[in-house]
Structure 1
Amino acid sequence: MRVLLAGASGVLGRKIVRELTAAGHEVAGLGRGAENTLRADLLDREAVLRAVDGHGFDGVVHAATALQGKSLMRHQDMEPTNLLRTEGTANLLAAARETGARRFVAESMVFGYGYGDHGDAKLTEADARFGPRDANPWLERHVGAMRTKEELAFGADGIEAVSLRFGLFYGAGATDTTVLPMLRRRALPVVPDKGRALAWVDVDDAARAVLLALTVSGAAGQAYNIADDAPLGFGSHVRAVAQAFGAPAPLTVPLWLLKPAPLAHTIMSSNLRLANDKARRELGWAPTHAGCATGLQALADHLALAEAAGPLAA
């Protein structure tokens, strides 16, 4: 297949490129950065169409976000990504039509089911509403953007759309570049989980799901939860990172102390677990590790061995 990938320079995007090329597919990155094959701002429809003019693709992947390097403390930190999920999706679907692409894979995430406490049962694609409307105007903007992204993709004529609803990312290129440095600076406080848990997924496993979504014929028109088997509270996840890498344990603070950081407060007070049975059954996807505690320890061991072996081994 020839695949157009928006978001190729991000953590997930780089791993998608690796998975697709290893499987023999050809990938063209679309974005503003010099590392992209085709240069255009995803929010500029005419620029996107000029960039793909004369090219043909079999599939398009929308994995573009503006989250890299963001602290996600304030609701405003999500605004650029919200635009990529709404206007950017419409522009990419136009590019898909112009280039003859049939399959469209949309990256989505666990919070598309809504922030807050969803109880202890794992949500499935069939029994939980995706993109519920929220009375909080900021949360409605975030969830509404995820809802719109799916609606645009599934409603596009002549397009076989697949939506992947990812758990929160951890793993190589994610944990070791974001959470771990903050822990070592003692700059990442957590709140008591109090029974709350969130869905997580190794970013390498997430990239593998994208490959399957592009190539498994029965996936068209479907949404899939992509998460490991063991939901874990945000605080417990951060403590597992500290334990695996020998970093200082995070400071535990009361939840009310995070109210000046409303987006972080909302994330850490959410209880949202995902069932992955449909992805296992229909995509043939399964997480490499049952839970992130095991995956984090495997990552720490791998990085320690690589460091000990030195640059020649790498």
Structure 2
Amino acid sequence: MHVFVTGASGYIGRAVVAELIAAGHRVTGLARSDASASAVSGLGAAVHRGDLDDLDSLRRGAEAADGVVHLANKHDWVNPQVSNSAERAAVQALGDALAGSDRPLVIASGFALPGLGRPATERDRSSAVGPDSMRGGAENLVLSYADRGVRAVPVRFAPSVHGPGDYQFVAMVAQAARTRGASVYPGDGSNRWPAVHRSDAARLVRLALEGAPAGTVVHAVAEEGVPVRAIAEALAARLNVPVKSVPSEQLAEELPFVGRVLAADSPATSVVTRELLGWQPVGATLLEDIAAGHYDQP
């Protein structure tokens, strides 16, 4: 299969591209800069120049491929509306390009399932609806294309997709601990973060691309919920700083968006995903990766 991948030079994207190529697929990766293009070609993929704001480029990339994996996101934590707007427009452009073709469109999604009081499952519908919601409501938007001849599959990534080279949420929390001189957790720290190793997440994306039915939601979740206090304690041990509790409101102020995510209790299961696609996570756990020193340096 010829696969067009956005976000191909990113942390998760590089692992996905390598996974697809190892499985025999031909990959073209979106690249917005010379550095991104070099990273994509270095993985053995072809380069398609453009970015999330170049919707014509996205359409051309999708039209020329047998399937699309959309991983790119602006990740503007200070101005999330910028990221949300770009994400919705990109998914709509890709969906329109594939409409009526029965080709797969696999997109990265997150967990917008507040107040469940239990672990989220693949059958829970995202509460993010419309352009002003998280990720611009892209998950619900892409699912609407399942009725328009697109094999639409959102992959809900755990808040922590961890491993060597991770610069996302846990890395941000670690950097905040270095700056503050203490590793903190909100409240009593009993709230939980789902987690998955990057290699396991990449394999799941491939399996979803290859075989998930249209309209299927899958969960890239290996650990249902790691207590946030355990994460803070593991980082404190590696960084040689004290660990302490702070009010959730303070954390949200110090770490825009990330602090709110850290303070949420968001356990999730992947039982349906594992049964459907035969996916079995084998990578290190989040606490094992912290103990291995992957978050020691900025």
Hey, what's the Cα distance between the residues in 2 that align with 1:220 and 1:143?
Answer: 20
Change (3 A) 1:146 1:196: farther
Give aligned-pair identity as a percent: 27
Cα distance in 1 between the residues matched to 2:145 and 2:286:
30
| 1:256 equivalent in alignment to 2:264 | no
1:234–1:85 distance in 2 versus 1, CA, 3 Å = farther
For the 8 Å contact 1:199–1:274, the answer to whether it is kept is: yes
Counterpart-to-counterpart distance in 1, 2:139 and 2:68: 19
Query: Does the aligned pair in 1 maintain the 2:126–2:140 contact within 8 Å?
Result: no
The yes-or-no answer on 1:191 pairing with 2:186 is yes
**Residue 198 of structure 2 is aligned to residue 203 of structure 1:** yes
The aligned counterpart of 2:116 is 118
CA 1:177/1:259 → structure 2, altered by over 3 Å: closer, same or farther? closer
Deviations 1:262-291 (A, max 9, x none): 634432331111111011101111222584
Question: Which residue number in structure 2 is paired with residue 307 of structure 1?
Answer: none
In structure 2, the partner of 1:271 is: 265
Backbone CA RMSD of aligned residues? 3.2
How many Å separate the matches in 1 of 2:142 and 2:240?
Answer: 39
C-alpha deviation, 1:170, in angstroms: 2.0
Paired residue type of 2:66: D
Q: CA offsets per residue over residues 208-229 of structure 1, 9 Å max, x none?
A: 111111112x533310122123
Aligned to 1:165: 156
2:91 equivalent in structure 1: 89
TM-score normalised by length of structure 2: 0.80
| 2:208 aligns with one of 198, 204, 213 | 213
Read off the aligned partner of 1:165 and give its amino acid letter.
Answer: R
Query: Match for residue 13 of structure 2?
Result: 13
Aligned counterpart, 1:63? 71
Find the aligned partners of 1:284 and 1:142 in 2 and give their Cα distance.
29
> What are structure 2's unaligned runs of at least 5 residues?
38-46
Shift of 1:17: 0.9
Q: More strand by proportion, 1 or 2?
A: 2
Residue aligning to 2:27: 27
Provide the aligned length of Structure 1 versus Structure 2: 281
Which digits, 9 at most, give the CA deviation of each residue in 1:71-100, with x for residues without a partner? x4x4x2x223212321010112234359x6
The equivalent of 2:3 in structure 1 is 3
The 2-side partners of 1:267 and 1:239 are apart by 18
The whole-number CA distance in structure 2 between the counterparts of 1:104 and 1:264 is 28
Give the corresponding residue for 2:41. Answer: none
SS in 2 for 1:174: coil
CA contact under 8 A between 1:231 and 1:291: conserved in structure 2?
Answer: no
The answer (yes or no) to whether the contact 1:6–1:61 under 8 Å persists in 2 is: yes
What's the offset of the Cα at 1:148? 3.9
Give the partner amino acid of 2:193.
L
Q: TM-score of the superposition, structure 1-length normalised?
A: 0.76
Find the counterpart in structure 1 of residue 48 from structure 2: 38
